[in-house]
Structure 1
Amino acid sequence: MKHLIRALAVSACAAVATGPALAQSAVTYDTDQSFDDVIFGLENAILDAGLVVDHVSHTGDMLERTREDVGSDVVLFEHADVYSFCSAQISREVMEDDPMNIRFCPYDIFVIVRPETPDTTTIGFTQYPDGAMQKVQEMLDGIARAAIGIE
């Protein structure tokens, strides 16, 4: 009986540890600027912050290119790119607070145009948890705002 109880306890812990993660909200800003203008502003804002773009994911192109292959007829985006980058200073600060904050690095800002709102470009990023990660959220918010000219 003792073994059965222990096995059930271990199974319960494993189920909790491997359960689905909670979805995080996004912080977004809409603008009437074109996708290309927002991308140009984002690239400049990242550079102006003393950072370097690590990677640009052309997510919208990939989703459109593979849409029929996966059996869908839904066009999700007119344009959609995700810019990934990191800050050595801020990353060190948040990881010294909690080394598991590594899971958030690199940091991403997305720019999208949806088919149902073709005159609206949205720029945004993941909302981070309270605590040290708010430093990252403040950095991303400043970069996103600078990209579209919001003070």
Structure 2
Amino acid sequence: MHRLKLSLLALILGAPAALAQDATTYPFEGSFDDAAFAVESAIIGKGLVIDYRSHVGDMLNRTGADVGSAVTVFDSADVFLFCSAVLSRKVMEADPLNIAHCPYGIFITDQNGQVAIGFRHLPEGPMQEVQALLDDIAREAVGE
């Protein structure tokens, strides 16, 4: 029983680290603004329309004091949200609950001058085709 409790404790304590790694990131050689331009260009270059650009870093920096924190998480961080009519129809015809993953997002972060471009992992099955698209966009944006 003691071993079971230790195993459960290890699982619980390890969960945040596992969840934090449910994304792929690629380092970007250049400024945050250059990375944003590269992501925008890669998305549009695929014939996709950007629905929204969320300024997550600005929101965190603006509201930190309001929630009792002086921590700067990101110098800058944005998420580009977009959809693909072709892929969205395909994955939602396979499973209508795949709507939970739409719109798709590519994020850019700047932490202490280290700029990265990434995306969250999607579930196995039909959504892997969308994940491949996200990976292709991110790789294109970093110059791979």
Does the pair score TM above 0.5? yes
Give the length in aligned residue pairs: 126
User: Which residue of the partner structure matches residue 137 of structure 1?
Assistant: 131
User: Which residue of the partner structure matches residue 142 of structure 2?
Assistant: 148
* 1:85 has 2:79 as partner: no
2:29 and 2:142 in contact (8 A); partners too: no
C-alpha root-mean-square deviation of aligned residues, in Å? 1.3
Displacement after TM superposition at 1:31 (Å): 2.1
* 1:123 has 2:117 as partner: yes
Unaligned runs of 5+ in 2: 1-17
- Looking at structure 2, the residues matched to 137 and 81 of structure 1 have their Cα atoms a distance apart, in angstroms, of 19
Mean CA deviation greater in 27-36 or 53-62: 27-36
* 1:62 has 2:39 as partner: no
- Looking at structure 1, the residues matched to 47 and 28 of structure 2 have their Cα atoms a distance apart, in angstroms, of 25
SS at structure 2 position matched to 1:128: coil
Displacement after TM superposition at 1:32 (Å): 2.2
Deviations 1:20-52 (A, max 9, x none): xx9470011112221111110111101100001
User: Which residue of the partner structure matches residue 69 of structure 2?
Assistant: 72
Unaligned runs of 5+ in 1: 1-21
User: Which residue of the partner structure matches residue 51 of structure 1?
Assistant: 48
User: Which residue of the partner structure matches residue 7 of structure 2?
Assistant: none
SS at structure 1 position matched to 2:27: strand
Displacement after TM superposition at 1:79 (Å): 0.6
The correspondence for 1:104, drawn from 96, 101, 105, is 101
Percent pairwise identity: 53
More helix by share: 2
Displacement after TM superposition at 1:80 (Å): 0.3
Larger Rg over CA atoms? 1
Detail structure 1 runs of 4+ shifted over 6 Å in the superposition. Answer: none
Name the amino acid aligned to 1:138: A
- Looking at structure 2, the residues matched to 146 and 136 of structure 1 have their Cα atoms a distance apart, in angstroms, of 15
- The TM-score with structure 1 as length reference comes to 0.80
- Looking at structure 1, the residues matched to 130 and 29 of structure 2 have their Cα atoms a distance apart, in angstroms, of 26
- Looking at structure 1, the residues matched to 124 and 69 of structure 2 have their Cα atoms a distance apart, in angstroms, of 38
SS at structure 1 position matched to 2:65: coil
